[in-house]
Amino acid sequence: MEGKKKVENVLDWYFTGKAEDKGERINSCDLCNTAIRYVYYIKNKFTGEILGVGSDCIERFNVTMMKDGVRSSRLETLKEVNKYKYRFKKENANQYVFNTIDKLSWPNIGSYKKDYSDNGYFTPEQSYALFNYLDKQGTVYDKKKFKIYVDTKKNMNKFTYRKFKVIEDALTDNQKKECKKFLFND
Residues that bind Zn ion (CB under 5 A): 29, 31-32, 54, 57
What DSSP string describes 109-168?
A: HHHHHHHHHHHSSB-HHHHHHHHHHHHHHT----GGGS-B---TTTS-TT--HHHHHHHG
Q: Which of 88, 184, 89, 97 is nearest to 148 (CA)?
A: 97
Please identify, using beta-carbon distances, which residue of 57 and 148 lies nearer to Zn ion. 57
- Give the nearest distance from C-beta 57 to Zn ion in angstroms: 3
Query: Do 32 and 54 contact (CB within 8 A), yes or no?
Result: yes
Please identify, using beta-carbon distances, which residue of 32 and 183 lies nearer to Zn ion. 32
- Give the nearest distance from C-beta 71 to Zn ion in angstroms: 22
- Give the nearest distance from C-beta 24 to Zn ion in angstroms: 17
Burial group, residue 130, by CB count within 10 angstroms (0-12, 13-18, 19+): buried
Please identify, using beta-carbon distances, which residue of 19 and 31 lies nearer to Zn ion. 31
Please identify, using beta-carbon distances, which residue of 26 and 99 lies nearer to Zn ion. 26
- Give the nearest distance from C-beta 30 to Zn ion in angstroms: 8
